[in-house]
Amino acid sequence: MRLINRHPDRGGRLLLILLPFALLLFAYFAGSTARLAENPNDKLLPGAAQMVDAVQRLAFTEDKRSGGYLFWQDTVSSLGRLGLGIGIAALLGLCLGIAAGTLPLLSAPLSPLLTVLSMVPPLAILPILFIVFGLGELSKVMLIVIGITPILARDMEQRAREIPAELLIKAQTLGANTWTLILRVVLPQLLPRLLIALRLVLGSAWLFLIAAEAIASTDGLGYRIFLVRRYLAMDVILPYVAWITLLAWLMDLGLRQLARLCFPWYEGAKA
């Protein structure tokens, strides 16, 4: 049988999914054990015990100086910034995208502008953000917003253009004005696509968040990672990275489930 026609069965599939993860973990812990055997104080590849220790210290023991639980504080402030940034960007991107994709009079000035703006590397203007918005929360949220809004807006514009002209004409023959046409035809058709676009920009959003926190912050997951880097504390960094990955994965899963739950028509309509 040709390779292209061979499919894994249920059990085989699960095995194939887990295999690369298992290999990665095995490779890491094999290396870690080898290094620790040579030098029990090695910091570069900490073993499971050291990482559990670090998590214990940060997540489940009160910090002596601040009296809080650093791990959870970092998580809450990072997620707050991320949520706020993504929320604002989604709203802005949706509005801009609909305006540029539906109304020819707004498309003319908006489309080229969005194209140019999306080419500006957001990290290059991070200093400007710090100068303009200060070192507080605002500049970090703004970096996320500025980083992903143009991408979202351009995607939404493209999706809005993909709505068949027949549907827009149809809505007009049913008595819609421009506003109600957008409200009842364009917007509901774009919302599931917005969720898909959000899943795709989630990675960038995290990147901008960590970058902003690394440079100017007093808490947050990115701040902690870059802080303990000075002590070569891989036993903290690795669990933090794993935690960020898990959070990002959960958000992705959540967005997918949300799309499935709220827009049951979408899967069928694509076919």
Partner 1 sequence: MSFIQVNNVWQEYGDQVVLERLNLIVREGEFCTLVGASGCGKSTFLRLLLGHERPSKGEILLAGQPLVAEPDASRGVVFQRYSVFPHLTVLDNVAVGLELPRSPLLGRLFGNAKREARERAAELLRKVGLGHALDKYPSALSGGMQQRLAIAQALITTPRVLLLDEPFGALDPGIRKDMHALLLELWRETGLTVFMVTHDLSEGFSLGTRLLVFDKVRHDPHAPNAFGARITYDIPLNSDRRAALPAPLAERLQSQLQGA
Smallest gap from residue 192 Cβ to partner 1 (A):
8
Q: Should residue 37 be labelled a site residue for partner 1 when binding is judged by CB under 8 A?
A: no
Residue found by looking up tokens 């295999």 in the block:
19
Tokens encoding 180: 């109600």
Residue found by looking up tokens 């094999």 in the block:
30
Please state the separation of Cα 185 from the chain's center in Å: 28
Q: Binding marks (x or -) toward partner 1, 241..270, rule CB under 8 A?
A: ----------------------xxxx-xx-
Residue 66 amino acid letter: S
State in Å, rounded, how far the first CA of the chain is from the last one: 29
Q: Of residues 164, 218, 230, 261, which one binds partner 1 by CB under 8 A?
A: 164
- Give the residue with the Cβ less far from partner 1, 59 or 106: 106
Restricting to residues 177-196, which ones interact with partner 1 according to CB under 8 A?
A: 177, 179-181, 183-185, 188-189
Q: What angle do CA 144, 216, 139 make, to 5 degrees?
A: 35
Total number of residues binding partner 1 (CB under 8 A)? 27
Q: Should residue 169 be labelled a site residue for partner 1 when binding is judged by CB under 8 A?
A: yes
Stretch of 19-27, 34-42, 83-91, 161-169 contacting partner 1, by CB under 8 A? 161-169
Q: Should residue 170 be labelled a site residue for partner 1 when binding is judged by CB under 8 A?
A: yes
- Give the residue with the Cβ less far from partner 1, 230 or 270: 270
Please state the separation of Cα 241 from the chain's center in Å: 14
Q: Of residues 175, 218, 230, 261, which one binds partner 1 by CB under 8 A?
A: 175
Smallest gap from residue 170 Cβ to partner 1 (A):
6
Name the nearest CA neighbour of 87 among 137, 144, 140, 160. Answer: 144
Q: Should residue 104 be labelled a site residue for partner 1 when binding is judged by CB under 8 A?
A: no
Instruction: Print the SS3 string covering 36-74.
Output: HHHCCCCCCCCCHHHHHHHHHHHHCCCCCCCCCCHHHHH
CA–CA gap between residue 74 and residue 59 (Å, rounded): 10
Q: Could you list the residues that contact partner 1 (CB under 8 A)?
A: 164, 166-167, 169-177, 179-181, 183-185, 188-189, 263-266, 268-269, 271
